[in-house]
Structure 1
Amino acid sequence: MIGFPIVGDWATFSTRIGLALLAGLLIGFEREWHRKPAGLRTHALVSVGACVYVVLGLILVGEEGGDPSRIIGQVVTGVGFLGAGVIFRQGANIQGLTTAATIWCSAAVGCLLATGLYVEAALASVAILLVNSLLKAIEDRLVKSDHQPKG
């Protein structure tokens, strides 16, 4: 079982918040680059906000006792509502699902950083960027090849 370290000093707190900001900016940059509705600011704020709430939960658990995973669960729920705001339906088409999922993932990275799981957060960030860029390119090629005239 992973022990959640208490954030006892400003250096640790600043490191975690700073890394959450950086991760959110990197993820948001990819969304901004592709002109998606939620970009730099949204992903940075979601990642930092998730980190702050989880750090606060860790501090309170250290002082009062309790279960820090409950705070993480509430972050997931709250960010789900935020993500729902970027999903739109136009006729048979649904848009914004990937952006909503990316917002949700940005929060997860913030939660990882809040608990001091830096390597795991870096790996998750890379995975998010790969899914949004590499898989998008593959998806585009598959769709394009499906619509090519036969013969």
Structure 2
Amino acid sequence: MELGFDLERLIQDLTKILIAFALALPIGWERGRGRYSVGFRTLPVVAVAACGFALVVNTDFPGSAEAQARVLQGVVTGIGFIGGGAIVKLRHNVKGLVTAASIWNAGAIGAAVGLGNLNVAVVLSVINLSSLVVLAYLNVDGGKDESSQ
């Protein structure tokens, strides 16, 4: 394997990583506003890391569905572990489920960008952010405050 420097490739990869960051940042900002902030820095970093893994597999194993599946499996598992750390059970209440789901979604956003599916990444970002903002505003959860999750 040759370790060359390709400025054009660097710019393409940097652009994708910045897109993943930008698509996850508003979700992180929304999650970071709560009393138990976890998202403002975490979600964009998760998206960037997932994008990075996807870029590596696309560069090193282009067109290999098996390699992509293995990398995605590892990313999904790892992000699930991170999200699990955001979930806390206190007596009869469970907190952090929305944040955990948003962390997982941020990983999907990053992976989609890294694998070249910007449409999916944008849709995931818009739906996640809309769910957090609109559904909390509508208070469809029976009066619970989702902002602390």
Establish whether TM, by shorter chain, passes 0.5: yes
Q: Secondary structure at the match of 1:48?
A: helix
Structure 2: tracts of 5 or more residues without a match: 1-7, 144-149
Structure 1: tracts of 5 or more residues without a match: 1-7, 145-151
In 2: Cα distance, 1:12 partner to 1:49 partner = 16
Mean Cα deviation higher: 89-98 or 117-126: 117-126
Matched, 1:52 2:52: yes
Task: After TM superposition, give the deviation of residue 124 of structure 1 in Å.
Answer: 1.1
In 2: Cα distance, 1:143 partner to 1:66 partner = 44
In 2: Cα distance, 1:70 partner to 1:121 partner = 20
In 2: Cα distance, 1:125 partner to 1:21 partner = 11
Mean Cα deviation higher: 89-98 or 29-38: 29-38
Task: After TM superposition, give the deviation of residue 67 of structure 1 in Å.
Answer: 2.5
Q: In structure 2, do the counterparts of structure 1 residues 60 and 29 end up closer, same or farther at CA, with 3 Å as the change threshold?
A: same
Mean Cα deviation higher: 102-111 or 14-23: 14-23
Across the aligned residues of Structure 1 and Structure 2, the Cα RMSD in angstroms comes to: 2.1
Residues 65-114 of structure 1: per-residue CA shift (max 9 Å, x gap)? 95312101110000000001010011010000000000000000000100
C-alpha contact (below 8 Å) 1:58/1:68 kept by paired residues: yes
Task: After TM superposition, give the deviation of residue 63 of structure 1 in Å.
Answer: 9.7
C-alpha contact (below 8 Å) 1:24/1:40 kept by paired residues: no
Q: Secondary structure at the match of 1:76?
A: helix
C-alpha contact (below 8 Å) 1:23/1:125 kept by paired residues: yes
Number of paired residues? 136
In 1: Cα distance, 2:66 partner to 2:142 partner = 49
Task: After TM superposition, give the deviation of residue 35 of structure 1 in Å.
Answer: 3.9
Q: In structure 2, do the counterparts of structure 1 residues 125 and 91 end up closer, same or farther at CA, with 3 Å as the change threshold?
A: same
C-alpha contact (below 8 Å) 1:37/1:86 kept by paired residues: no
Q: Residue in 1 aligned with 2:61?
A: 61
Q: Residue in 2 aligned with 1:3?
A: none
* Letter of the structure 2 residue corresponding to residue 143 of structure 1: G
Task: After TM superposition, give the deviation of residue 117 of structure 1 in Å.
Answer: 1.3
Segments ≥4 residues shifted beyond 4 Å: 63-66
Identity of aligned residues (%): 31
Quick check: which has more Rg, 1 or 2?
Answer: 1
C-alpha contact (below 8 Å) 1:24/1:106 kept by paired residues: yes
